[in-house]
Chains A and B, each alone.
Chain A
Amino acid sequence: MSHHFNSPDDVTIAVIGDGFGALLVYTTAVYMGFDPRRIGIFGESTNPVGTYQQFAWNLGQTVLRSESESHFLPADWPTFAQMDAVARRDVTPLFRSIGRKFNPGVSEMLSEAAIVWKSLGYEHRVLGGRKIGWISREPGTPPYFSLYDEDGELVARARHAMLAIGHGPLAFTPVCQAARDNPKTADRVVQAYEAKRYQAGGRYMVIGSGIASVNEWVNILDAGAECIALRRNPQPEEQDLNVPRCLFDGSGIDAFQTLSFDQRLDFLGQALRGTSPSRRGWGDRVAQGRQAGMFDELVGDIASIDSGSAGLSVTVKALNGNQVALDLTGIVAGTGFVKSALSLPLFRRLVEHYGVPLERERIQLKTNCGVPPLDRPDSRLCMMGIQANTVVPNGDTIAGLKYIARRFVGDVARAEKLRRRSFPSRLAMQVGLARKTVRALRAVRKTEQLA
């Protein structure tokens, strides 16, 4: 650092955001050889899994959507199935993984995350304890960014910054939004990612056929209630992990990036539309529900939502043009998050002030996830997570976050002429973390596999 950088909160790498992305940039940087003191995490929480954990809890998620390779150790070996097998002295996870039927349990995965962040001193590098409200590119040499909080107070300065602030607000269709704004119906229309409780004997409609929706079908049936699944597409595709398999790999991501930005948006629209995974346990549960007359499906759109005798009176316009009126206890929208970059205040300000280019309300990132025009090779400003899935299609998964984190840290290492950690030291670090994880897994109750 040059003489410009005197304050304790001046760092080489700043991560704005305190979730999964922040943890993965941090672990990657330490693994590559950065001194933790050169890294700063800027957000409110020292727990990088808190945001995800809340959503997962609300959704009732017990196993991850992703497979054995997606977890929090810096490098890709050992896989989660391998550690699970050693911890429990049971080869089943290995066989399941070979057949691509292994999904790490949420509690197991979060235990690993805790091992990683505690062992590598992550929480000591969460600086300021505040959200970042504004970033400015400071002119002159050396290049750096100033980070300000929501009150305009300077929090830190950083040579390179990664924006990892996660999703926008929860998304609702206009009809559902209107019902939420209406005091008579507001509390009966909820999002899959919100906290909720089902009543035995109730009847609920679940909008969408993605993984969050399918999860809710099962939650409703398990609560002894009736479930009506409503979706727009007659034929949902069967695919775990949000996007088609080879798209996750280098070759797939390379091919994706050769498309124009517009084509990529269209492709994501297609690939991410209403995909639902096959889960043995879930499939059986839904089949039982269907047989018992507790589960049904509709293809169409909600035309209106009013209060009714059972709680809600809902009209659905079916695909064939028929209107169906239904009495329901409530509606659960599995419609995800608002994808518009403008829904996140920090991004909206950057767009307005620096003219960051937008296309269909998504930031037109460079192919290295850089934010134009602020990003430059000697002082990178990058983005990860859902906002970066226009460059890395699985950007909002652990695997995609890792993909971006590694390349971003690689760029920073080159810009800073970092002396990289040696192979033996990397191996020792990885094996050390894996051993601690194995020990921790022994104390965690085994989560039932659903696939």
Chain B
Amino acid sequence: MCPTPTGRIHTRTATLTLPALLGLILSLITGREDWIVLIGVFLLLGVALDAGVYSWILKYQPPWMTGILALVEFGLLYALAQILELDLRPAEAIIFYWVSWTLATATRIALLPIASLTYLESSGEFRRVEWSIPPQQASIPILADVESPPTPGSLIAAATVGSGSLLEKKPSPSAIHPIDRSASG
């Protein structure tokens, strides 16, 4: 994939939904809010890396890079957790990180393409199923609208005049423009 900066941020945010839910549940059960805080820090760190680093050095991101980035982010998050003195034991934080990463990766691979049909082909962005550039912005010759009926004598007129029925036969177009079957491969 060649994710855009926006695509990276959309993806990061969406994929951390399930880990955030898990963190919330753990915080409620254990009464320690640092589970959810860790996910918050992970989100901030991720968005900073997405916007400030990855978008510039990884225009095309090969699939194998995911694992390497996970290790880098693990190291950075671990250091940040130490600096912020989060109330989690190292083993808890490590296990929680990798469970969260697995949930995030599964969400990205399996759920996001179903949630948004064009997610992958829109560089990781959640777009409406729409064309990137509206035709109004494109430079094409200005042509007459075909709202008006076709010119009398045309094929359509020949088929519909006087008939009132759309089942009326039209002259064969191929009789007007014989097909060169020898050239059709």
Contact = CB atoms under 8 A, between A and B. Distances in A.
Given A353-B154, A402-B121, A373 B146 contact: yes
Interface in B127-185: 127-135, 137-141, 143-150, 154-156, 159, 166-174, 176-177, 179, 183-185
30 contacts: A76-B117, A76-B121, A99-B63, A134-B173, A138-B166, A139-B150, A150-B173, A152-B169, A154-B166, A169-B183, A193-B185, A246-B60, A250-B132, A251-B4, A251-B123, A254-B132, A257-B133, A257-B138, A345-B173, A345-B177, A352-B177, A354-B146, A364-B140, A367-B131, A367-B137, A368-B131, A368-B134, A370-B135, A403-B121, A407-B131
B63 A97 contact: yes
A77 B121 contact: no
Contacts, number: 181
A353 B171 CA distance: 14
A351 B121 CA distance: 32
Nearest to B157: A136
A196 interface: no
A79 to B, nearest CB: 8
Interface string B30-69: 0000000000000000000000000000011011100000
A42 B69 CA distance: 48
B76 interface: no
Contact of A245 (B2, B114, B141, B147): B2
A75 B120 CA distance: 10
A157 B135 contact: no
A364 B132 contact: no
Contact of A357 (B110, B141, B149): B141
Contacts of B184: 169
A399 B118 CA distance: 11
Interface of A: 28, 31-32, 69, 74-78, 97-100, 133-134, 136-139, 146, 148, 150-154, 157, 169-170, 191, 193-194, 245-246, 248-254, 257-258, 260-261, 337, 343, 345, 348-349, 352-355, 357, 364, 366-370, 372-374, 399, 402-403, 406-407, 409-411, 413, 423, 426-427, 430
Given A246-B59, A366-B135, A406-B118, A372 B140 contact: yes
Contacts of B133: 254, 257-258, 367
